[in-house]
């Protein structure tokens, strides 16, 4: 039977990693395990869950900074921030429904280790851009820290960036310090109905290139809108191009009018204020939460190439469904799981424009055989291995989760 450790102190986390290192027992590193389904399935001796290491140790709203133990539930942090009208501006997603996970309590450590960001990524940056400081334990069973609690800091290498998106393969986060920001007083979404993918690309580009400061730019093709949690949208039957404006009320109203003037000729527009679920659906990929037998790809491309890549994919893979976030720069695509979830076709379609594709959800069989994370050029792979060898020379932290040889 697999051992499962759930330490409640940093010293205990260190004990577990020391034990793993001493006995050459590889460990699966988890927060609450909500994103277990992403990456190669692991064959490990034991699980190290950080979910027992909880608590917000510092929150200074006027300083826009918060420090929490890695296992602190995201929900707890968001609630505390909301009490002061603040938020995590990178809008971390909750993939529980997408991944069919029974665990719903994402931890902040898991969010940062996976660098999970939502629709506001295109304006405010990714999780890594709000990651000011950390404490962690490497695969050498040594504690270290990096960064600090201030936004302007160039003292030493930026290990926060190094660990964000490393999926627990380099070190185990025990504490994170984050930049937080004021939450918007008003959130308004402008919905343009009936645009084709190509028309939507141009509308999204016009919005992004205006001074309207849009903070969410997505396009849901007509075949998916019926799955929206917002009934007006679900009933509309037409594709929906979504443009989000946030800020103080007079500013939002002013910009909404500007945007309507700019884009009104493209299709019928409608203005909706509030209605969080519009963007929750986009962020958490609820459009593909059903049909768990289908595989889901997360594809990052230059935004202006979004529709071109999507149509190339559609030509190759019958039955593909997709929608766009990040003004076209993020394509979520659901495909049949067989044939390694069509990975060859998907990645071929990216060759000419650049970008990368991650197999975000797939049945166990496809997960074991497909290349889940984008294959790296040899030079980058060498550097990646070098980093792994330096931080986790015995390969005890999430071995093989991102790349089979890592």
Partner 1 sequence: MTGLKMPEPDSGILKRRDEIIRALQQRVPGEGVISDVDEMRPFESDGLTAYHQVPMIVVLPSTVEEVSAVLKYCHDEGIKVVPRGAGTSLSGGALPLEDGVLLGLGKFNRVVDIDFDNRCAVVQPGVTNLAITHAVAHEGFYYAPDPSSQIACTIGGNIAENSGGVHSLKYGLTTNNVLGLEVVLITGEVIKVGGKHLDSAGFDLLGLMTGSEGLLGVITEVTVRILKRPETARAVLVGFSSSEDAGACVADVIGVGIIAGGMEMMDRLAIHAAEEFAHAGYPLEVEALLIVELDGPEAEVDHLLERVEKIAKAHNAVSVKVSTSEEERLSFWAGRKAAFPAVGRISPDYYCMDGTIPRHQLPRVLTGMREMSEHYGLRVANVFHAGDGNLHPLILYDANKSGELEKAEDFGSDILKLCVEVGGVLTGEHGVGVEKRDLMETMFNDADLDHQQRIKCAFDAKGLLNPGKVFPTLRRCVELGRMHVHGGKVPFPDIPRF
CA 79 remoteness from chain centre: 20
Candidates 203, 330, 349, 370: give the one binding partner 1 (CB under 8 A): 330
Within residues 230-289, the interface with partner 1 by CB under 8 A covers 247-248, 250-251, 253-255, 258
Site for partner 1 contains 395 (CB under 8 A): no
Shortest distance in whole angstroms from residue 202 CB to partner 1: 9
Within residues 114-143, the interface with partner 1 by CB under 8 A covers 115, 117, 121-122, 125-126, 128-129, 138, 140-143
The residue (of 101 and 153) whose beta carbon lies closer to partner 1 is 153
Site for partner 1 contains 400 (CB under 8 A): no
Site for partner 1 contains 54 (CB under 8 A): no
Site for partner 1 contains 8 (CB under 8 A): yes
Site for partner 1 contains 376 (CB under 8 A): yes
Site for partner 1 contains 318 (CB under 8 A): no
The residue (of 233 and 256) whose beta carbon lies closer to partner 1 is 256
Site for partner 1 contains 21 (CB under 8 A): yes
Shortest distance in whole angstroms from residue 339 CB to partner 1: 22
Site for partner 1 contains 144 (CB under 8 A): yes
Candidates 43, 79, 185, 365: give the one binding partner 1 (CB under 8 A): 185
CA–CA dist 111, 94 (Å, integer): 9
Shortest distance in whole angstroms from residue 113 CB to partner 1: 12
Candidates 78, 97, 149, 270: give the one binding partner 1 (CB under 8 A): 149
Shortest distance in whole angstroms from residue 55 CB to partner 1: 17
Give Cβ neighbours of residue 316 (< 8 Å, ≥ 6 apart).
Answer: 342, 345, 348, 349
Shortest distance in whole angstroms from residue 166 CB to partner 1: 6
The residue (of 209 and 268) whose beta carbon lies closer to partner 1 is 209
Site for partner 1 contains 78 (CB under 8 A): no
The residue (of 116 and 193) whose beta carbon lies closer to partner 1 is 116
Shortest distance in whole angstroms from residue 281 CB to partner 1: 20
Candidates 223, 344, 390, 405: give the one binding partner 1 (CB under 8 A): 390
CA–CA dist 324, 201 (Å, integer): 9
Site for partner 1 contains 198 (CB under 8 A): no
Candidates 66, 191, 195, 208: give the one binding partner 1 (CB under 8 A): 208
The residue (of 5 and 332) whose beta carbon lies closer to partner 1 is 5
CA–CA dist 356, 346 (Å, integer): 10
Site for partner 1 contains 63 (CB under 8 A): yes
Within residues 163-182, the interface with partner 1 by CB under 8 A covers 164-166, 170-171, 181-182
Site for partner 1 contains 7 (CB under 8 A): yes
Candidates 300, 311, 339, 369: give the one binding partner 1 (CB under 8 A): 300
Pairing of strands 46-49, 3-5: parallel
Stretch near partner 1 under the rule CB under 8 A, chosen from 145-153, 189-197, 266-274, 310-318: 145-153
Site for partner 1 contains 399 (CB under 8 A): no
Shortest distance in whole angstroms from residue 203 CB to partner 1: 13
CA–CA dist 221, 176 (Å, integer): 38
Site for partner 1 contains 189 (CB under 8 A): no
- Strand order from edge to edge, sheet including 65-69: 56-60, 65-69, 171-179, 131-138, 143-147
| Residue 235 tokens, joined | 């009933």
3-state helix/strand/coil string of the chain: CCEEECCCCHHHHHHHHHHHHHCCCCEEEECCCCCCCCCCCCCCCEEEECCCCCCEEEEEHHHCEEEEECCCEHHHHHHHHHCCCEECCCCCCCCHHHHCCCCCCCEHHHHHHHCCCCCCHHHHCCHHHHEEEEEEEECCCCEEEEECCCCCCCCCCCHHHHHCCCCCCCEEEEEEEEECEECCCEEEEEEEECCCHHHHHHHHHHHHCCCCCCCEEEEECCCCHHHCCCHHHHHHCCCEEEEEEEECHHHHHHHHHHHHHHHHHHCCEEEEECCCHHHHHHHHCHHHCCCCCCEEEEEECCHHHHHHHHHHHHHHCCCCEEEEEHHHCEEEEEECCHHHHHHHHHHHHHCCCCCEEEEEECCHHHHHHCCCCCCCCHHHHHHHHHHHHHHCCCCCECCCCCCCCC
Site for partner 1 contains 336 (CB under 8 A): no
């Amino acid at each position: 039977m697999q051992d499962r450790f759930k330490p409640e102190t940093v010293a205990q986390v260190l004990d577990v990693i020391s034990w793993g290192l001493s006995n050459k027992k590889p460990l699966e590193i988890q927060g609450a395990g909500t994103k277990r389904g992403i990456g190669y399935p692991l064959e490990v001796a034991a699980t190290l869950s950080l979910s027992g290491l909880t608590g917000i140790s510092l929150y200074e709203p006027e300083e826009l900074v918060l420090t929490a133990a890695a296992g602190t539930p995201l929900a707890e942090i968001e609630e505390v921030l909301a009490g002061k009208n603040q938020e995590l501006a990178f809008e971390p997603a909750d993939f529980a429904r997408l991944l069919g996970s029974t665990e719903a309590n994402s931890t902040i450590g898991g969010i940062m280790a996976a660098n999970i960001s939502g629709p506001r990524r295109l304006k405010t940056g990714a999780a890594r851009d709000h990651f000011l400081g950390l404490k962690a334990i490497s695969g050498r069973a040594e504690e270290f820290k990096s960064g600090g609690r201030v936004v302007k800091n160039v003292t030493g290498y930026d290990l926060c960036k190094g660990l964000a998106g490393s999926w627990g393969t380099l070190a185990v986060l025990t504490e994170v310090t984050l930049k937080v920001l004021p939450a918007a007083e008003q959130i308004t979404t402008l919905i343009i109905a009936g645009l084709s993918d190509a028309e939507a690309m141009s509308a999204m580009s016009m919005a992004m290139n205006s001074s309207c400061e849009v903070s969410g730019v997505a396009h849901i093709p007509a075949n998916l809108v019926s799955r929206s949690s917002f009934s007006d949208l679900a009933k509309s039957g037409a594709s929906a191009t979504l443009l989000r404006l946030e800020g103080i009320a007079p500013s939002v109203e002013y910009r909404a009018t500007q945007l309507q003037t700019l884009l009104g000729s493209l299709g019928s527009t409608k203005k909706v204020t509030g209605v969080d679920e519009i963007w929750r659906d986009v962020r958490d990929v609820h459009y593909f939460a059903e049909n768990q037998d289908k595989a889901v790809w997360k594809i990052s491309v230059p935004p202006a190439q979004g529709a071109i890549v999507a149509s190339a994919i559609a030509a190759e893979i019958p039955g593909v469904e997709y929608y766009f976030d990040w003004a076209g720069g993020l394509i979520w695509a659901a495909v049949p799981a067989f044939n390694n979830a069509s990975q060859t076709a998907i990645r071929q379609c990216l060759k000419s424009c650049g970008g990368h594709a991650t197999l975000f959800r797939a049945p166990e069989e496809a997960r074991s055989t497909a290349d889940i994370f984008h294959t790296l050029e040899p030079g980058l792979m060498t550097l990646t291995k070098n980093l792994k060898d330096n931080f986790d020379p015995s390969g005890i932290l999430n071995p093989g989760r991102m790349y089979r040889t890592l």
